[in-house]
Amino acid sequence: MSPDASDNFRAQYESEERDRALIRQELERGVPEDQIEEHVALESDFIRLNPGCDVRAYARHLIEDENTASSLDLSPSDQ
């Protein structure tokens, strides 16, 4: 992988991690998903890092992932 490709990959990864953290926080606060999608579309570096890609589809995918992750309760139950 060339240095430029490596830097771009790292930037994409870091941007996605920030977006996921934002989404988790807003889901926990009870913000409606359409508002979260709008916020990610406006705040994310996704467009700059992925020109021509659909930022709303990206946001919906991350929201669905975070909803799935939060619905999986892997902690032992209190009995």
User: Considering the domain boundaries, does residue 72 fall inside one?
Assistant: no
Does a structural domain hold residue 48? Answer: yes
The number of folded domains in the chain is 1
List average pLDDT for each run of 10 residues in the chain, which is 79 residues long: 84 96 96 96 93 95 92 58
Residue 52 lies in a domain: yes
Under DSSP, the state recorded for 45 is S
Supply the pLDDT for residue 78: 47
Helices (H), the chain: 3-29, 33-43, 46-49, 55-71
The whole domain housing 57 covers 3-66
Tokens 């913000």, located at residue: 31
